[in-house]
Homo-oligomer: A and B are copies of this chain.
Amino acid sequence: MTQQQIQQCIDACLESMNACNVSYISSLKEYDLAMLRDCIRLSRECAEICGFAAQAMTRGSDFIAEICDLCVKACEACAAECEKHRHDHCQACAEACRKCAEACRMMAVVVA
């Protein structure tokens, strides 16, 4: 695992955290709010987990494999929900989550 690979995974987590929070805030302003209950909850939850994962990697946590595994699950669940909605912020969130899940899956394998 090179420092560059770790940095790419951190960046993917931060991108996903940002996209999730943007989608969370944007969804709360939408007209079809009632359709977005799960999307709101999952994107906010996923943002927390992605942010936690990024921080854990920068502080050289001993539990990066487990935290990245958790991040894969959160990102996949969030992406699956966000993909159901046509809003641009939902689609952007799903895309960032998919990329983050991929980066974290690789990280979890390499450091395990």
Provide the residues of chain B in CB contact with A25, threshold 8 Å.
41, 59-60
- Number of chain copies forming the complex: 4
Chain A's interface: helix, strand, loop or mixed, by majority? helix
Give Cα A18–Cα B67 distance, bound, in whole angstroms. 18
**B residues less than 8 Å from A51 (CB atoms):** 51, 54-55
A44 contacts B by Cβ under 8 Å: yes
Are B45 and A61 in contact, CB atoms less than 8 angstroms apart?
Answer: yes
A22 touches B58 (CB 8 A): yes
- Contact string, A7-43, partner B, CB cutoff 8 A, digits 1/0? 0001000100110011011001100011001001110
Please judge, given known A-B contacts A58-B17, A60-B25, A61-B45, whether A73 and B77 are in contact too, CB under 8 Å. Answer: no
Q: Are B60 and A21 in contact (CB under 8 A)?
A: yes
Task: Assess whether A21 is in contact with B73, with CB atoms less than 8 Å apart.
Answer: no
